[in-house]
Amino acid sequence: MRLILLGPPGAGKGTQAKHLQDRYGIAQISTGEMLRAEVAAGSPVGHEAKAVMESGRLVSDDIIIRMLGHRVEQPDAAKGFILDGFPRTVPQAEALERLLAEKCMHLDAVIELRVDDAVLVARISGRFTCNNCGAGYHDTFKPTARAGVCDVCGGHEFIRRADDTKETVAARLDAYHRQTAPLLPYYASRGILRAVDGMADIDEVARQTQMVLSGLRTDI
Ligand code: AP5
């Protein structure tokens, strides 16, 4: 199964992608996480991406398309994948279409997580992640069961993203509406766009996503 999760920053793409990865055993491919790893490693790509990401703008299509091309060739993506944060522009979507066609593959669905802009700032500003295992939490919507202890690995160190400031979130939302939202009619015209109410709580969004996927004719 090959899916795209599409939605604005904070819509819940990463949260739902992890659910799907656990449920179906297919790879979550997050271009945002890949870029943050490049920044942390101090690589040339990381150097180029850092300031762009912290300003809330999009990293160049060239860099992203090259990075994604390498990633989907990894063995863990052979069975299928969930794209989280890619594509984000029409040129990226076109590049993906070419890449999949070369491999005689196709996309099964594009799932749009619909969330009003007003709640996104609250979601993003409350987000934190375990520094050891990467499990994601939220101060209000998904706190750890025991304060200061990761539910998954028992870790005690948590991090907040450098681009999760109020100002940067506004720029990221603007980039979403100008550059990414045009992908909705792009995929609707291909008959593979499905919408889920991303305003519902995390479990309900997972249930609705599950319903959409159970209607697809795929092997997984
Ligand atoms: P990226 O890392 O992709 O960030 P994003 O798209 O802005 O999305 P987020 O990770 O902020 O949100 P999400 O939808 O995954 O929400 P989450 O599940 O965490 O990109 C970062 C930057 O990298 C970009 O700005 C850009 O510069 C660059 N970049 C990346 N890909 C690129 C590309 N393809 N092209 C160019 N540049 C690229 O949820 C958010 C919070 O809300 C969490 O705390 C969660 O617990 C909570 N939550 C989730 N769902 C719910 C719910 N239903 N109810 C209540 N709370 C919820």
Active site residue 88: yes
Q: Where are the alpha helices (DSSP H) in the chain?
A: 13-24, 31-41, 44-55, 61-71, 90-102, 117-125, 166-175, 183-188, 202-214
Task: List pLDDT tens digits, range 99-120.
Answer: 999 989 999 999 999 999 989 9
pLDDT of residue 51: 94
Active site residue 127: yes
Mutate to test the pocket of ligand 1, among 123, 174, 179 (most ligand atoms within 8 A of CB): 123
Whole-structure pTM value: 0.93
User: Contact, 125 vs 10, CB < 8 A?
Assistant: no
pLDDT of residue 218: 62
Task: List pLDDT tens digits, range 200-215.
Answer: 999 999 999 999 998 8
Mutate to test the pocket of ligand 1, among 6, 15, 54, 210 (most ligand atoms within 8 A of CB): 15
Active site residue 66: no
